Structure 1
Protein backbone atom coordinates (compact mmCIF):
# COMPACT_ATOMS: atom_id res chain seq x y z
CA UNK A 1 0.00 0.00 0.00
CA UNK A 2 1.16 3.57 -0.62
CA UNK A 3 1.76 6.10 2.16
CA UNK A 4 -1.75 7.55 1.99
CA UNK A 5 -3.32 4.09 2.24
CA UNK A 6 -0.93 3.13 5.04
CA UNK A 7 -1.79 6.25 7.01
CA UNK A 8 -5.53 5.63 6.59
CA UNK A 9 -5.11 2.01 7.70
CA UNK A 10 -3.02 2.85 10.77
CA UNK A 11 -5.15 5.86 11.74
CA UNK A 12 -8.18 3.56 11.80
CA UNK A 13 -6.31 1.10 14.02
CA UNK A 14 -5.30 3.91 16.38
CA UNK A 15 -8.98 4.83 16.79
CA UNK A 16 -9.79 1.19 17.46
CA UNK A 17 -7.13 0.57 20.10
CA UNK A 18 -6.62 3.95 21.80
CA UNK A 19 -9.71 3.39 23.88
CA UNK A 20 -10.35 2.94 27.65
CA UNK A 21 -10.86 -0.80 27.05
CA UNK A 22 -7.12 -0.86 26.30
CA UNK A 23 -6.54 -0.35 30.03
CA UNK A 24 -8.11 -3.69 30.91
CA UNK A 25 -5.08 -5.68 29.77
CA UNK A 26 -2.28 -3.12 29.83
CA UNK A 27 0.11 -2.09 32.65
CA UNK A 28 -0.96 1.54 32.16
CA UNK A 29 -3.95 0.64 34.35
CA UNK A 30 -1.66 0.91 37.42
CA UNK A 31 -1.02 4.69 37.32
CA UNK A 32 -4.71 5.16 36.47
CA UNK A 33 -5.42 4.22 40.10
CA UNK A 34 -4.07 7.61 41.19
CA UNK A 35 -5.02 11.26 40.74
CA UNK A 36 -2.07 13.22 42.21
CA UNK A 37 0.54 14.05 39.57
CA UNK A 38 3.46 12.70 41.57
CA UNK A 39 1.64 9.45 42.40
CA UNK A 40 0.82 8.96 38.73
CA UNK A 41 4.35 9.53 37.47
CA UNK A 42 6.11 7.48 40.18
CA UNK A 43 3.72 4.54 39.83
CA UNK A 44 4.04 4.80 36.04
CA UNK A 45 7.83 4.90 36.13
CA UNK A 46 8.08 1.87 38.43
CA UNK A 47 5.46 -0.05 36.44
CA UNK A 48 7.22 0.71 33.16
CA UNK A 49 10.51 -0.42 34.72
CA UNK A 50 9.16 -3.95 35.25
CA UNK A 51 7.15 -4.02 32.01
CA UNK A 52 8.75 -6.96 30.30
CA UNK A 53 7.49 -10.50 30.08
CA UNK A 54 3.93 -11.70 30.62
CA UNK A 55 1.56 -8.74 30.91
CA UNK A 56 -0.59 -10.41 33.56
CA UNK A 57 2.53 -10.97 35.67
CA UNK A 58 3.62 -7.36 35.12
CA UNK A 59 0.25 -6.06 36.32
CA UNK A 60 0.16 -8.42 39.32
CA UNK A 61 3.65 -7.46 40.44
CA UNK A 62 3.04 -3.76 39.86
CA UNK A 63 -0.02 -4.02 42.11
CA UNK A 64 2.10 -5.79 44.74
CA UNK A 65 4.60 -2.95 44.48
CA UNK A 66 1.91 -0.32 45.01
CA UNK A 67 0.68 -2.28 48.05
CA UNK A 68 4.24 -2.28 49.45
CA UNK A 69 4.22 1.50 49.11
CA UNK A 70 0.89 1.81 50.94
CA UNK A 71 -0.77 2.84 47.66
CA UNK A 72 0.73 6.27 48.16
CA UNK A 73 3.94 6.14 46.12
CA UNK A 74 4.90 9.82 46.39
CA UNK A 75 4.58 9.86 50.18
CA UNK A 76 6.49 6.58 50.37
CA UNK A 77 9.33 7.99 48.26
CA UNK A 78 9.59 11.16 50.34
CA UNK A 79 9.54 9.26 53.63
CA UNK A 80 11.89 6.47 52.52
CA UNK A 81 14.82 5.52 54.77
CA UNK A 82 17.17 2.54 54.73
CA UNK A 83 14.88 0.94 57.30
CA UNK A 84 12.37 0.40 54.48
CA UNK A 85 14.76 -1.89 52.63
CA UNK A 86 13.74 -4.90 54.68
CA UNK A 87 10.11 -4.66 53.57
CA UNK A 88 11.21 -4.12 49.96
CA UNK A 89 13.68 -7.01 49.96
CA UNK A 90 11.15 -9.71 49.08
CA UNK A 91 9.97 -7.98 45.90
CA UNK A 92 11.02 -9.60 42.64
CA UNK A 93 9.99 -9.37 39.01
CA UNK A 94 12.21 -11.45 36.76
CA UNK A 95 15.70 -9.99 37.29
CA UNK A 96 14.48 -6.85 39.08
CA UNK A 97 14.75 -7.55 42.82
CA UNK A 98 14.44 -5.89 46.20
CA UNK A 99 17.98 -4.49 46.07
CA UNK A 100 17.20 -2.79 42.78
CA UNK A 101 13.89 -1.51 44.13
CA UNK A 102 15.55 -0.03 47.21
CA UNK A 103 17.91 2.00 45.04
CA UNK A 104 15.09 3.07 42.71
CA UNK A 105 13.13 4.49 45.65
CA UNK A 106 16.23 6.23 47.04
CA UNK A 107 17.03 7.73 43.65
CA UNK A 108 13.45 8.90 43.13
CA UNK A 109 13.63 10.60 46.54
CA UNK A 110 16.78 12.41 45.42
CA UNK A 111 15.13 13.44 42.15
CA UNK A 112 12.07 14.91 43.90
CA UNK A 113 14.00 16.60 46.70
CA UNK A 114 16.96 17.89 44.71
CA UNK A 115 16.05 17.98 41.01
CA UNK A 116 12.44 19.18 40.90
CA UNK A 117 10.90 15.80 40.07
CA UNK A 118 10.85 13.38 37.15
CA UNK A 119 9.36 15.79 34.62
CA UNK A 120 11.98 18.44 35.39
CA UNK A 121 14.86 16.00 34.85
CA UNK A 122 13.59 14.77 31.49
CA UNK A 123 12.61 18.27 30.35
CA UNK A 124 16.03 19.68 31.23
CA UNK A 125 17.68 17.25 28.84
CA UNK A 126 14.98 17.34 26.12
CA UNK A 127 16.79 19.62 23.71
CA UNK A 128 16.52 17.73 20.42
CA UNK A 129 13.86 16.49 18.04
CA UNK A 130 13.48 13.29 20.05
CA UNK A 131 13.90 12.15 23.65
CA UNK A 132 16.78 9.72 23.25
CA UNK A 133 19.50 12.12 24.45
CA UNK A 134 17.17 13.17 27.28
CA UNK A 135 16.77 9.54 28.37
CA UNK A 136 20.55 9.17 28.47
CA UNK A 137 20.80 12.37 30.53
CA UNK A 138 18.11 11.12 32.86
CA UNK A 139 20.03 7.89 33.44
CA UNK A 140 23.10 9.87 34.55
CA UNK A 141 21.02 11.78 37.11
CA UNK A 142 19.23 8.62 38.23
CA UNK A 143 22.50 6.89 39.06
CA UNK A 144 24.37 9.86 40.53
CA UNK A 145 24.08 8.32 44.02
CA UNK A 146 26.08 5.31 45.17
CA UNK A 147 24.33 2.26 43.75
CA UNK A 148 24.70 -1.48 43.10
CA UNK A 149 26.30 -1.96 39.70
CA UNK A 150 23.67 -4.60 38.82
CA UNK A 151 20.89 -2.01 39.07
CA UNK A 152 22.10 0.07 36.11
CA UNK A 153 20.83 -2.52 33.65
CA UNK A 154 17.25 -1.65 34.59
CA UNK A 155 17.45 1.81 33.00
CA UNK A 156 18.33 1.72 29.30
CA UNK A 157 20.60 4.17 27.52
CA UNK A 158 19.70 4.90 23.87
CA UNK A 159 23.14 6.41 23.27
CA UNK A 160 24.59 2.97 23.95
CA UNK A 161 22.42 1.26 21.37
CA UNK A 162 19.23 0.46 23.27
CA UNK A 163 15.73 1.08 21.91
CA UNK A 164 14.80 1.96 25.53
CA UNK A 165 11.32 0.52 25.05
CA UNK A 166 10.18 0.87 28.66
CA UNK A 167 11.24 4.48 29.15
CA UNK A 168 9.80 5.50 25.79
CA UNK A 169 6.54 3.86 26.88
CA UNK A 170 6.64 5.74 30.19
CA UNK A 171 7.18 9.01 28.33
CA UNK A 172 4.23 8.25 26.05
CA UNK A 173 2.05 7.75 29.11
CA UNK A 174 3.13 11.06 30.68
CA UNK A 175 3.23 13.34 27.62
CA UNK A 176 0.50 12.33 25.17
CA UNK A 177 -2.95 13.89 25.55
CA UNK A 178 -5.49 12.26 27.86
CA UNK A 179 -8.26 13.01 25.34
CA UNK A 180 -9.08 9.30 25.00
CA UNK A 181 -8.56 8.56 28.72
CA UNK A 182 -5.62 6.23 28.00
CA UNK A 183 -2.43 8.32 28.26
CA UNK A 184 -2.20 11.09 30.87
CA UNK A 185 -0.89 14.30 29.29
CA UNK A 186 0.36 15.58 32.65
CA UNK A 187 3.81 16.61 31.38
CA UNK A 188 3.40 19.82 29.42
CA UNK A 189 7.09 20.74 29.15
CA UNK A 190 7.74 18.00 26.56
CA UNK A 191 6.12 17.99 23.12
CA UNK A 192 4.42 14.83 21.82
CA UNK A 193 6.32 15.36 18.56
CA UNK A 194 9.51 14.45 20.45
CA UNK A 195 8.28 11.03 21.54
CA UNK A 196 9.40 7.69 20.11
CA UNK A 197 7.48 4.46 19.71
CA UNK A 198 8.13 1.87 22.45
CA UNK A 199 9.80 -0.61 20.12
CA UNK A 200 9.32 -4.24 21.12
CA UNK A 201 8.89 -7.58 19.40
CA UNK A 202 5.24 -6.83 18.50
CA UNK A 203 5.62 -3.31 17.14
CA UNK A 204 8.87 -4.33 15.46
CA UNK A 205 7.39 -7.30 13.64
CA UNK A 206 4.33 -5.35 12.48
CA UNK A 207 6.52 -2.41 11.47
CA UNK A 208 8.58 -4.71 9.26
CA UNK A 209 5.51 -6.23 7.64
CA UNK A 210 4.24 -2.72 6.86
CA UNK A 211 7.70 -1.68 5.55
CA UNK A 212 8.07 0.98 8.22
CA UNK A 213 11.17 -0.83 9.42
CA UNK A 214 13.86 -2.81 7.62
CA UNK A 215 16.45 -3.34 10.36
CA UNK A 216 16.18 -6.79 11.93
CA UNK A 217 17.30 -5.93 15.48
CA UNK A 218 15.05 -3.96 17.83
CA UNK A 219 17.75 -1.49 18.83
CA UNK A 220 18.42 2.25 18.76
CA UNK A 221 19.09 2.25 15.01
CA UNK A 222 15.81 0.47 14.36
CA UNK A 223 14.01 2.97 16.56
CA UNK A 224 15.51 5.87 14.60
CA UNK A 225 14.28 4.28 11.36
CA UNK A 226 10.81 3.68 12.75
CA UNK A 227 10.72 7.23 14.18
CA UNK A 228 11.55 8.70 10.78
CA UNK A 229 8.76 6.79 9.05
CA UNK A 230 6.11 7.40 11.72
CA UNK A 231 6.89 11.12 11.67
CA UNK A 232 6.09 11.12 7.95
CA UNK A 233 2.60 9.86 8.86
CA UNK A 234 2.06 12.31 11.73
CA UNK A 235 4.90 14.69 12.67
CA UNK A 236 2.95 16.14 15.60
CA UNK A 237 2.01 12.87 17.31
CA UNK A 238 4.03 10.02 15.78
CA UNK A 239 3.87 7.75 18.81
CA UNK A 240 0.09 7.43 18.58
CA UNK A 241 0.87 4.63 16.12
CA UNK A 242 2.18 2.56 19.02
CA UNK A 243 -1.46 1.59 19.63
CA UNK A 244 -1.91 0.45 16.03
CA UNK A 245 1.36 -1.51 15.81
CA UNK A 246 0.94 -3.10 19.22
CA UNK A 247 -2.74 -3.91 18.70
CA UNK A 248 -2.11 -5.44 15.29
CA UNK A 249 0.64 -7.60 16.74
CA UNK A 250 -0.86 -8.68 20.07
CA UNK A 251 -4.58 -8.80 19.37
CA UNK A 252 -4.73 -9.51 15.63
CA UNK A 253 -1.52 -11.57 15.19
CA UNK A 254 -0.95 -9.46 12.06
Structure 2
Protein backbone atom coordinates (compact mmCIF):
# COMPACT_ATOMS: atom_id res chain seq x y z
CA UNK A 1 0.00 0.00 0.00
CA UNK A 2 1.18 3.55 -0.70
CA UNK A 3 2.81 5.70 1.95
CA UNK A 4 2.86 9.49 1.53
CA UNK A 5 5.66 10.04 4.02
CA UNK A 6 7.94 7.51 2.30
CA UNK A 7 7.25 9.30 -0.98
CA UNK A 8 8.11 12.67 0.56
CA UNK A 9 11.15 11.36 2.44
CA UNK A 10 12.60 10.12 -0.85
CA UNK A 11 12.08 13.53 -2.42
CA UNK A 12 13.46 15.51 0.53
CA UNK A 13 16.62 13.40 0.47
CA UNK A 14 17.30 14.77 -3.05
CA UNK A 15 17.07 18.48 -2.13
CA UNK A 16 20.36 20.17 -2.95
CA UNK A 17 21.91 16.82 -3.92
CA UNK A 18 20.45 16.18 -7.38
CA UNK A 19 20.82 18.45 -10.41
CA UNK A 20 18.32 19.30 -13.13
CA UNK A 21 18.33 17.91 -16.66
CA UNK A 22 15.67 17.21 -19.27
CA UNK A 23 18.15 15.27 -21.42
CA UNK A 24 17.83 11.50 -21.84
CA UNK A 25 19.15 9.39 -20.14
CA UNK A 26 20.45 11.93 -17.61
CA UNK A 27 16.88 12.72 -16.44
CA UNK A 28 16.54 9.15 -15.18
CA UNK A 29 18.94 9.80 -12.29
CA UNK A 30 20.65 9.34 -10.00
CA UNK A 31 22.59 12.58 -10.54
CA UNK A 32 19.88 14.48 -12.41
CA UNK A 33 16.07 14.62 -12.69
CA UNK A 34 13.59 16.78 -14.50
CA UNK A 35 10.28 17.68 -12.88
CA UNK A 36 8.29 14.68 -14.10
CA UNK A 37 10.98 12.03 -13.64
CA UNK A 38 11.41 13.28 -10.05
CA UNK A 39 7.69 12.86 -9.34
CA UNK A 40 7.66 9.40 -10.93
CA UNK A 41 10.53 8.24 -8.72
CA UNK A 42 8.84 9.71 -5.64
CA UNK A 43 5.64 7.82 -6.47
CA UNK A 44 7.64 4.61 -6.87
CA UNK A 45 9.42 5.18 -3.54
CA UNK A 46 6.06 5.68 -1.84
CA UNK A 47 4.66 2.48 -3.33
CA UNK A 48 1.97 4.22 -5.39
CA UNK A 49 3.12 3.04 -8.82
CA UNK A 50 5.05 -0.12 -9.79
CA UNK A 51 8.84 -0.11 -9.73
CA UNK A 52 8.70 -1.26 -13.35
CA UNK A 53 6.76 1.85 -14.40
CA UNK A 54 7.90 3.84 -17.41
CA UNK A 55 9.54 7.06 -16.19
CA UNK A 56 7.44 9.30 -18.35
CA UNK A 57 6.36 12.92 -18.58
CA UNK A 58 3.65 15.23 -17.27
CA UNK A 59 1.42 13.69 -19.96
CA UNK A 60 2.09 10.25 -18.43
CA UNK A 61 1.05 11.62 -15.03
CA UNK A 62 -2.19 12.99 -16.50
CA UNK A 63 -3.00 9.48 -17.74
CA UNK A 64 -2.61 8.06 -14.21
CA UNK A 65 -5.90 9.72 -13.23
CA UNK A 66 -8.36 7.10 -12.07
CA UNK A 67 -5.66 4.44 -11.71
CA UNK A 68 -2.89 5.75 -9.47
CA UNK A 69 -4.05 9.36 -8.99
CA UNK A 70 -7.34 10.93 -7.94
CA UNK A 71 -8.03 14.43 -9.22
CA UNK A 72 -8.65 17.17 -6.63
CA UNK A 73 -10.82 19.97 -7.99
CA UNK A 74 -10.09 22.78 -5.53
CA UNK A 75 -6.90 24.32 -4.21
CA UNK A 76 -8.62 24.56 -0.82
CA UNK A 77 -8.63 20.75 -0.62
CA UNK A 78 -4.86 20.38 -1.10
CA UNK A 79 -3.12 18.08 1.38
CA UNK A 80 0.48 17.14 2.06
CA UNK A 81 1.58 14.66 -0.63
CA UNK A 82 -0.76 15.91 -3.35
CA UNK A 83 0.73 16.46 -6.80
CA UNK A 84 0.31 19.49 -9.03
CA UNK A 85 0.61 19.56 -12.80
CA UNK A 86 0.98 22.99 -14.33
CA UNK A 87 0.19 22.93 -18.04
CA UNK A 88 -2.58 22.01 -20.43
CA UNK A 89 -3.17 18.28 -20.85
CA UNK A 90 -2.02 17.26 -24.31
CA UNK A 91 0.31 20.27 -24.52
CA UNK A 92 2.39 19.95 -21.35
CA UNK A 93 5.55 18.32 -22.69
CA UNK A 94 8.90 20.02 -22.20
CA UNK A 95 8.70 23.66 -21.22
CA UNK A 96 4.90 23.48 -21.60
CA UNK A 97 4.43 21.86 -18.22
CA UNK A 98 5.73 21.52 -14.69
CA UNK A 99 4.97 19.17 -11.80
CA UNK A 100 5.88 18.61 -8.18
CA UNK A 101 4.61 17.61 -4.75
CA UNK A 102 2.88 19.71 -2.10
CA UNK A 103 4.52 19.61 1.33
CA UNK A 104 1.80 22.00 2.47
CA UNK A 105 -0.59 24.36 0.71
CA UNK A 106 2.13 27.03 0.60
CA UNK A 107 5.15 24.77 0.07
CA UNK A 108 6.15 22.53 -2.86
CA UNK A 109 8.94 20.04 -3.48
CA UNK A 110 10.06 19.88 -7.11
CA UNK A 111 12.90 19.49 -9.57
CA UNK A 112 13.24 22.73 -11.51
CA UNK A 113 15.55 24.63 -13.84
CA UNK A 114 15.48 27.86 -11.81
CA UNK A 115 17.25 26.26 -8.85
CA UNK A 116 19.24 23.83 -11.03
CA UNK A 117 17.90 20.78 -9.20
CA UNK A 118 15.51 19.51 -6.55
CA UNK A 119 14.40 22.30 -4.23
CA UNK A 120 11.61 23.55 -2.00
CA UNK A 121 9.58 26.65 -2.91
CA UNK A 122 7.33 28.44 -0.43
CA UNK A 123 5.02 31.45 -0.47
CA UNK A 124 7.82 33.40 1.18
CA UNK A 125 10.12 33.03 -1.82
CA UNK A 126 9.17 31.96 -5.35
CA UNK A 127 6.10 29.68 -5.09
CA UNK A 128 4.02 32.13 -7.11
CA UNK A 129 6.51 31.86 -9.95
CA UNK A 130 5.46 28.24 -10.44
CA UNK A 131 1.79 28.12 -9.43
CA UNK A 132 -1.28 30.35 -9.55
CA UNK A 133 -2.61 28.48 -6.46
CA UNK A 134 -6.03 28.01 -8.00
CA UNK A 135 -7.37 25.08 -9.95
CA UNK A 136 -7.89 25.68 -13.68
CA UNK A 137 -7.56 23.86 -17.01
CA UNK A 138 -3.85 24.68 -16.90
CA UNK A 139 -3.24 23.99 -13.19
CA UNK A 140 -4.56 20.72 -11.83
CA UNK A 141 -4.11 18.76 -8.61
CA UNK A 142 -3.97 15.02 -7.95
CA UNK A 143 -3.78 12.75 -4.90
CA UNK A 144 -1.89 9.44 -5.01
CA UNK A 145 -4.08 6.42 -4.32
CA UNK A 146 -3.02 2.92 -3.34
CA UNK A 147 -4.83 0.73 -5.88
CA UNK A 148 -2.57 -2.32 -6.15
CA UNK A 149 -1.88 -5.11 -3.70
CA UNK A 150 1.64 -5.82 -2.38
CA UNK A 151 3.62 -8.14 -4.65
CA UNK A 152 2.07 -7.01 -7.94
CA UNK A 153 4.17 -7.00 -11.07
CA UNK A 154 3.69 -5.25 -14.39
CA UNK A 155 5.29 -6.41 -17.64
CA UNK A 156 5.43 -4.14 -20.68
CA UNK A 157 4.25 -6.39 -23.51
CA UNK A 158 2.47 -5.68 -26.77
CA UNK A 159 -0.11 -8.22 -27.86
CA UNK A 160 -3.55 -9.08 -29.21
CA UNK A 161 -5.89 -10.99 -26.89
CA UNK A 162 -8.97 -13.04 -27.84
CA UNK A 163 -12.02 -12.82 -25.59
CA UNK A 164 -13.47 -16.27 -24.72
CA UNK A 165 -16.13 -15.16 -22.23
CA UNK A 166 -17.74 -11.78 -21.58
CA UNK A 167 -15.35 -9.62 -19.52
CA UNK A 168 -15.56 -6.20 -17.91
CA UNK A 169 -13.37 -3.21 -18.64
CA UNK A 170 -12.34 -1.45 -15.43
CA UNK A 171 -10.58 1.80 -14.54
CA UNK A 172 -8.25 0.01 -12.11
CA UNK A 173 -6.94 -3.59 -11.91
CA UNK A 174 -9.41 -4.51 -9.19
CA UNK A 175 -12.77 -6.29 -9.11
CA UNK A 176 -13.89 -3.47 -6.80
CA UNK A 177 -13.25 -0.90 -9.51
CA UNK A 178 -16.10 0.50 -11.60
CA UNK A 179 -17.17 -1.29 -14.79
CA UNK A 180 -16.80 0.96 -17.82
CA UNK A 181 -17.58 -1.38 -20.72
CA UNK A 182 -17.80 -5.06 -21.69
CA UNK A 183 -15.93 -7.18 -24.23
CA UNK A 184 -17.83 -10.18 -25.67
CA UNK A 185 -16.65 -13.59 -26.96
CA UNK A 186 -14.82 -13.35 -30.26
CA UNK A 187 -13.72 -9.74 -29.79
CA UNK A 188 -10.04 -8.79 -29.73
CA UNK A 189 -8.20 -6.58 -27.25
CA UNK A 190 -4.88 -4.94 -28.15
CA UNK A 191 -2.85 -4.48 -24.98
CA UNK A 192 0.53 -3.14 -23.87
CA UNK A 193 0.81 -4.40 -20.28
CA UNK A 194 0.26 -7.63 -18.36
CA UNK A 195 0.00 -7.63 -14.56
CA UNK A 196 -1.22 -9.57 -11.55
CA UNK A 197 -3.34 -8.13 -8.74
CA UNK A 198 -5.82 -9.53 -6.17
CA UNK A 199 -5.26 -13.08 -7.43
CA UNK A 200 -6.17 -12.22 -11.03
CA UNK A 201 -4.13 -11.68 -14.19
CA UNK A 202 -4.93 -8.51 -16.10
CA UNK A 203 -4.12 -6.92 -19.43
CA UNK A 204 -4.07 -3.18 -19.86
CA UNK A 205 -4.23 -0.65 -22.67
CA UNK A 206 -4.73 3.06 -23.33
CA UNK A 207 -8.30 3.73 -24.49
CA UNK A 208 -9.29 6.30 -27.12
CA UNK A 209 -10.02 8.67 -24.22
CA UNK A 210 -6.30 8.60 -23.39
CA UNK A 211 -6.94 6.83 -20.08
CA UNK A 212 -5.54 3.44 -19.08
CA UNK A 213 -8.04 0.58 -18.83
CA UNK A 214 -7.82 -2.94 -17.38
CA UNK A 215 -9.39 -6.31 -18.25
CA UNK A 216 -9.12 -9.43 -16.11
CA UNK A 217 -8.04 -12.45 -18.18
CA UNK A 218 -8.01 -15.25 -15.62
CA UNK A 219 -7.52 -16.31 -12.01
CA UNK A 220 -4.96 -19.12 -12.31
CA UNK A 221 -7.68 -21.79 -12.54
CA UNK A 222 -9.78 -20.45 -15.39
CA UNK A 223 -9.02 -18.25 -18.38
CA UNK A 224 -11.63 -16.05 -20.05
CA UNK A 225 -9.28 -14.08 -22.30
CA UNK A 226 -6.49 -15.78 -24.26
CA UNK A 227 -3.24 -13.87 -24.81
Q: TM-score, normalised by structure 1?
A: 0.25
More helix by share: 1
Instruction: Looking at secondary structure, tell me which structure has more strand per residue.
Output: 2
Larger radius of gyration: 2
